[in-house]
Structure 1
Amino acid sequence: VGERKYVYARIEAGYKKNKSRGELLQEIAESNIPYSVELKLKNGNMYAYFAIEEEYPEIKITKEKGVIAIDLNAYPDNISWAETDEKGNLISYGSIPMPELASGNKDKREYFRWQYAHEIVKIAKEKGKAIVIEELEIKEKGKRGDFSGRKSRRIRHSFSYKSLLSKIKTLAKREGIEVIEVNPSYTSIMGMLKYAPQYMITKDIAAAYVIARRGLGLQEKIPDNYIKFLNALTVDELEELKEHVKKTVRNKQLKKKHLKEINKAIEILQSLESKPGRVLEPLDGTSFSAYDFWRVLKVAVVTPLSPEKVPRDFSTLKGLLIQGKWRGP
């Protein structure tokens, strides 16, 4: 309280669900394990929160043989996962439905988050591969592409979403499994454009595959036929797309979102129109990054396919991706 004067108080361990905390406090006191105490004032009462650092076994399962990555873009409906070898090749994939997380009381949802975390860790343990998840400690929003997407905002603001990732991380460490955290920016866009049509998989599994490859230190290059498409794309075509959206999209918020994305794409193209082979070296002499060209690509090919909602089937992009063939809206 100041001037080297202290207030001493006896801790009332109390009960929670008929369980005494007294024994736990005794174990902490006698364990010789470092712990921290945080005092919080709540409703006129002072509460003490004890925290000890858990000791994990040595990591034995690493990314040496590949990884298992998860994507929670469809949370709380399901978890999508993808398995790769050490070179980043897709080996297997799947999804785990999570109907219990959509409803029920807090304790029930917490119980099932642990159960689904166990399922993911079990897959990684059986396959002997490290786990890649989206980064838990997200920076504040900075430059476009630097943790600025919908997925990173969800991690910042959704306790439930972050809680599931944290449980997967904790359980994996208890099993000696390496956990790799990656920047989640643009994984959904890259997945839906590059791998969903290539492997005929869902956009969420494709996003998990991008996360897996990112965990292995691999970067996603824009495919050659997409580069050719972007180099041929004109501002006039995007202006036509804008008019198409204005006429066909009835949802005002969705229409506003589409128009904002199209205007940004137009801005990028206008800044580069005088540059030959403008997408081949996207960072040369511009303020735009490779991420911006993925955004332009999404606007130009995904929006015309389904302006009212994100399509489930991206097989129509296979012709452009593999053969360079494309049709307009």
Structure 2
Amino acid sequence: YNFVSLSNVDLLGNFKSYHEIYFRNLHSYRKNKRADYISYKMDKVVNYCINKKKGLIVEDLSFEQEFSYGKKRNRKLSNFKTSALDLLERKCLKRGVAIRKVHPAYTSLIGKYKYSRLYNLSTHVLASYVIARKGLKFKEEIPARYKWLLAQVGDVIKPRLKPSSSYRNWAKLHDFFKHSGITSFKTSEVLQKALQMKHVLNSVTSEQPDNLRAGLSSTGKVDNWNKFWNFIENTNIL
């Protein structure tokens, strides 16, 4: 990515504002000039914190992360983020800005599916908001509508985290989307996929599925769009 997203929050974890700092044509610079340019941009991050009279909370990149690019580009991106954050940490310490690192797990997922309806901001800004809340020790409980969603698929998705993990349900939700082939994350696609999987599960347990009430056929495809959208509206699913 060619920018840094910063979220300003209060002590109660409420979102106040955001700011984005862009790295324009970063890879067009030669090595030495690129280093100076990154340093200049990191100064902007520190200045933002000083102006807001706030500390800085960032990702702890010691945890392994996956990026959706090729191996070579993934490595370059990871190395860039690590070097930039190391530089940022040194600048914060030099100028008296408190800095704290947090585990980056599921920050984008939590931001997208817990706060997007509330704030209508980009995924990157919402992820930075979740990082800020993590740094203030707030726990991100999965909303009731997603607990319902996971309940519809029963044991189709096997949990891969321990029951004591605060990320257990978020990991299950992530795996559900991946398992279902959901890529657009539109309300209609998520609900339709959930009910399709529920139909498969119920065909094994001999329970009556909700497909008819939701305007879906016995195979989970939309038969009646009016029923389908009414079902979405009445259940307030996403």
TM-score by length of 2: 0.67
Higher Cα radius of gyration = 1
Structure-2 residue corresponding to 1:283: 163
Provide closer, same or farther for how the CA distance between residues 298 and 200 of structure 1 changes in structure 2, counting only shifts above 3 A.
Answer: farther
Q: Any gaps of 5 or more consecutive residues in structure 1?
A: 1-73, 140-146, 236-265, 272-281, 307-318
Cα displacement (A) at 1:156: 9.6
User: Is 1:82 aligned to 2:7, yes or no?
Assistant: yes
Equivalent residue of 2:183, what SS?
helix
Q: Deviations over 1:123-149 (max 9, x none)?
A: 10001101011114x15xxxxxxx454
> Aligned pairs, how many?
187
Q: Say if 2:55 and 2:99, in contact at 8 Å, map to a contact too.
A: yes
Alignment match of 1:177 (pick from 84, 87, 97): 97
Q: Say if 2:10 and 2:16, in contact at 8 Å, map to a contact too.
A: yes
Structure-1 residue corresponding to 2:192: none
Q: Any gaps of 5 or more consecutive residues in structure 2?
A: 187-230
Q: Which amino acid in the other structure matches residue 34 of structure 2?
A: R
Structure-1 residue corresponding to 2:237: 325
- RMSD between aligned alpha carbons? 3.4
Q: Which amino acid in the other structure matches residue 230 of structure 1?
A: L
Q: Within 5 A, what are the aligned runs for 1:1-329?
A: 74=1, 77-136=2-61, 138-139=62-63, 147-150=64-67, 158-233=78-153, 266-268=156-158, 283=163, 289-296=168-175, 298-299=177-178, 302-303=182-183, 305=185, 324-325=236-237
Provide closer, same or farther for how the CA distance between residues 216 and 128 of structure 1 changes in structure 2, counting only shifts above 3 A.
Answer: same
Provide closer, same or farther for how the CA distance between residues 135 and 320 of structure 1 changes in structure 2, counting only shifts above 3 A.
Answer: farther
Q: Say if 1:186 and 1:291, in contact at 8 Å, map to a contact too.
A: yes
- Once residues 320 and 95 of structure 1 are traced to their aligned partners in structure 2, the CA distance between those partners, rounded to angstroms, is 34
- Once residues 131 and 320 of structure 1 are traced to their aligned partners in structure 2, the CA distance between those partners, rounded to angstroms, is 39
Provide closer, same or farther for how the CA distance between residues 123 and 305 of structure 1 changes in structure 2, counting only shifts above 3 A.
Answer: same
TM-score by length of 1: 0.50
Structure having the higher helix fraction is 2
Q: Which amino acid in the other structure matches residue 24 of structure 2?
A: P
Equivalent residue of 1:158, what SS?
helix
- Once residues 180 and 155 of structure 1 are traced to their aligned partners in structure 2, the CA distance between those partners, rounded to angstroms, is 24
Cα displacement (A) at 1:233: 3.3
Provide closer, same or farther for how the CA distance between residues 228 and 301 of structure 1 changes in structure 2, counting only shifts above 3 A.
Answer: farther
